[in-house]
């Protein structure tokens, strides 16, 4: 596994790594513990995390959730499928020269695109450079084949996608995953936007596991 992208983590956002005994960290662990109970008849190996609108905290949520899985001893892969405004590489202070965009366009391979983070058991597939055709890359046979292949190498795959009502990318990715979690920011999210997001998931037969209410007092 290539490690040239490896840097120190952004500890301000990764509270589970910085302060694992904090109440907030315990909430992330509770979320991780609940996920298997959403589906007793299916192994939830690939989970997409999104929001209805930008700025609701989905990337912070998925990153801390990934850390809790890694701390449990699972081999975890974070995939940044937001190829429009990528941010997972910033969360882990990594460079973004290669990643999902170069992989799907045939300009890199899996070994060159995935990097270890500074957290044991946690790996990152960054978005790669912003392409001119993100939706086309996401909606290609290569994306489905990639997720199928990655399932053989990782215990848990968490996929970060753009906000659902902003672009079509999340709707395209959602049926490729075993389940979807929507992050909703208290005081910001609007009910009709959550309904629209759920309708889009229903339209493509994606499985909504639940909603995480973020920033609640």
Question: What integer pLDDT is reported at residue 170 of this predicted model?
Answer: 96
Question: What integer pLDDT is reported at residue 9 of this predicted model?
Answer: 46
Question: What integer pLDDT is reported at residue 79 of this predicted model?
Answer: 98
**Per-residue pLDDT tens for 102-134?**
999 999 999 999 999 999 999 999 999 999 999
**How far apart (Å, rounded) are the C-alpha atoms in residues 117 and 6?**
6
Question: What integer pLDDT is reported at residue 40 of this predicted model?
Answer: 66
If we measure between CA atoms, which residue out of 162, 181, 161 comes closest to residue 47? 181
Question: What integer pLDDT is reported at residue 216 of this predicted model?
Answer: 83
pLDDT surpasses 70 at 139: yes
Question: What integer pLDDT is reported at residue 217 of this predicted model?
Answer: 79
Question: What integer pLDDT is reported at residue 3 of this predicted model?
Answer: 31
Average pLDDT of the residues in 204-214: 94
Neighbours of 118 (CB within 10 A): 14
If we measure between CA atoms, which residue out of 6, 68, 7, 28 comes closest to residue 214? 28
Question: How would residue 14 be classed by pLDDT, with cut points 50, 70 and 90?
Answer: confident
Question: How would residue 42 be classed by pLDDT, with cut points 50, 70 and 90?
Answer: confident
pTM of the shown model: 0.91
Neighbours of 24 (CB within 10 A): 11
**Per-residue pLDDT tens for 158-202?**
999 999 999 999 999 999 999 999 999 998 999 999 999 999 999
**How far apart (Å, rounded) are the C-alpha atoms in residues 47 and 40?**
15
pLDDT surpasses 60 at 147: yes
In the sheet with 156-160, reading across from the earlier edge strand, the strands are 115-116, 122-125, 76-80, 156-160, 46-51, 179-185, 208-214
**Per-residue pLDDT tens for 80-101?**
999 999 999 999 999 899 999 9
Helices 23-34 and 58-71 cross at an angle (nearest 10°) of: 80
Neighbours of 98 (CB within 10 A): 23
């Amino acid at each position: 596994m290539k490690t040239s992208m490896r840097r120190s983590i952004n500890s301000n956002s990764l509270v589970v790594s910085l302060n694992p005994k904090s109440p907030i960290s315990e909430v992330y662990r509770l979320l991780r513990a609940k996920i298997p109970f959403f589906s007793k008849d299916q192994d939830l190996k690939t989970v997409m995390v999104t929001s209805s609108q930008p700025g609701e905290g989905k990337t912070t949520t998925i990153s801390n959730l990934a850390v809790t899985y890694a701390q449990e001893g699972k081999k975890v892969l974070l995939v940044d499928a937001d190829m429009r405004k990528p941010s997972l590489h910033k969360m882990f202070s990594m460079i973004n020269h290669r990643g999902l965009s170069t992989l799907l366009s045939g300009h890199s391979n899996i070994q060159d695109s995935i990097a270890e983070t500074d957290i044991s058991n946690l790996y990152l597939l960054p978005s790669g450079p912003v392409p001119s055709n993100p939706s086309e890359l996401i909606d290609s046979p290569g994306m489905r084949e990639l997720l199928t292949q990655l399932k053989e190498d990782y215990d848990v795959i968490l996929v970060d996608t753009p906000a659902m009502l902003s672009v079509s990318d999340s709707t395209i990715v959602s049926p490729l995953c075993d389940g979807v979690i929507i992050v909703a920011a208290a005081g910001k999210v609007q009910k009709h936007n959550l309904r629209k997001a759920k309708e889009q998931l229903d339209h493509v037969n994606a499985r909504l596991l639940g909603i995480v209410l973020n920033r609640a007092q």
